[in-house]
């Protein structure tokens, strides 16, 4: 591997094998911490391999065709855990993409997204292992590509990426994860609870990172964050913001009181 953080992140992103990708992310993190990796922030990188690298399964289908399964069956509960694992696998790719794609950001931007990639890799590993205890494996159910679709739509501008992925699509996870956890536990899957507690704790931090860099970029460009965000959501027809909203988690992730009040009016 080349010893530049962004170039290695791009190499990790292109890896198709799931476990190999997780291992590579963790190795990159250790190498960075040991001072074995440098960081060139100004270089414009180009991917020569297809990205993101992903396994042959799960089959990717339209979000509209993903079947809802009843939580009162083992298969239904496993399908929900699989959906969560799929989100986390995509989140690894999204963090790596944010790390390599955008040049000329402060050093902390790149270390933030390396941290996110490592934590998303942990989330995936925990959920995939839990899925195995239920007699299934990652890839046994279908998935969709909504998160990566938004990554493609925002690949030209880091401000749009921060606005529409971490602080919109990923922030939605802060709203729905507690309810998902409650449904699974009520259906008898008690072992999922501590896993989703870890996911929730870390995701607040990830959304906070998105908020931090979105606000930084707005300030750098002389833009008003609230109006800029509203404009981008409208332009990209971002996911509907429907309640209930986890105001406590969103507040912890750095959303302003003005934004939280505005959620109830959307």
Check pLDDT > 70 for residue 123.
yes
Beta bridge partners, 4, equal 38
The domains located in the chain, with CATH, are 5-39+55-263 (1.20.1260)
Dmax (CA) of the chain:
53
Q: What is the pLDDT of residue 240?
A: 58
Q: What is the pLDDT of residue 201?
A: 97
Reduce the secondary structure of the chain to three states and give it as a string: CCCEHHHHHHHHHHCCCHHHHHHHHHHHHHHHHCCCCECCCCCCCCCCCCCCCCCCCCCECCHHHCCCCCCCCHHHHHHHHHHHHHHHHHHHHHHHHHHHHCCCCCHHHHHHHHHHHHHHHHHHHHHHHHHHHCCCCCCCCCECCHHHHHHHHCCCCHHHHHHHHHHHHHHHHHHHHHHHHHHHHHCCCCCHHHHHHHHHHHHHHHHHHHHHHHHHHHHHHCCCHHHHHHHHHHHHCCCCCCCCCCHHHHHHCCCCHHHHHHHCCC
Q: Using 50, 70 and 90 to split pLDDT, how confident is the model at 130?
A: very high
Q: What is the pLDDT of residues 91-116, one digit of tens each?
A: 999 999 999 999 999 999 999 999 99
Mean pLDDT, all residues of the chain: 93
> Considering the entire predicted model, what is its pTM?
0.95
Q: 178, exposed or middle or buried, with CB in 10 Å at 0-12, 13-18, 19+?
A: middle
Q: What is the pLDDT of residues 146-205, one digit of tens each?
A: 889 999 999 999 999 999 999 999 999 999 999 999 999 999 999 999 999 999 999 999
Check pLDDT > 60 for residue 2.
no
Contact 118, 26 (CB under 8 A): yes
Q: Which of 163, 49, 51 is nearest to 96 (CA)?
A: 51
């Amino acid at each position: 591997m080349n010893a530049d953080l962004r170039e290695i992140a791009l190499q990790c992103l292109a890896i198709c094998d799931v476990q190999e990708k997780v291992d590579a992310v963790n190795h990159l993190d250790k190498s960075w911490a040991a001072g074995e990796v440098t960081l060139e922030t100004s270089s414009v990188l180009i991917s020569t391999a297809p990205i993101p690298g992903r396994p042959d399964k799960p089959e990717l289908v339209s979000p509209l065709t993903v079947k809802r399964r009843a939580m009162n069956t083992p298969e239904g509960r496993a399908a929900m855990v699989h959906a969560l694992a799929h989100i986390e696998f995509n989140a690894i790719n999204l963090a790596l993409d944010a790390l390599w794609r955008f040049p000329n950001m402060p050093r902390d931007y790149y270390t933030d997204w390396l941290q996110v990639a490592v934590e998303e890799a942990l989330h995936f590993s925990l959920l995939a292992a839990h899925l195995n205890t239920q007699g299934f494996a990652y890839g046994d159910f279908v998935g969709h590509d909504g998160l990566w679709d938004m990554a493609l739509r925002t690949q030209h501008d880091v401000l749009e990426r921060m606005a529409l992925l971490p602080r919109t699509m990923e922030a939605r996870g802060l709203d729905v994860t507690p309810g998902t956890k409650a449904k699974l536990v009520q259906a008898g899957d008690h072992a999922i609870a501590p896993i989703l507690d870890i996911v929730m704790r870390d995701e607040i931090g990830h959304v906070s990172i998105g908020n931090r860099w979105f606000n930084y970029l707005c300030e750098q460009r002389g833009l008003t964050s609230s109006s800029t965000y509203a404009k981008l959501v409208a332009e990209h027809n971002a996911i509907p913001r429907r309640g209930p909203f986890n105001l406590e988690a969103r507040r912890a992730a750095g959303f302003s009181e003005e934004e939280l009040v505005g959620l109830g009016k959307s």
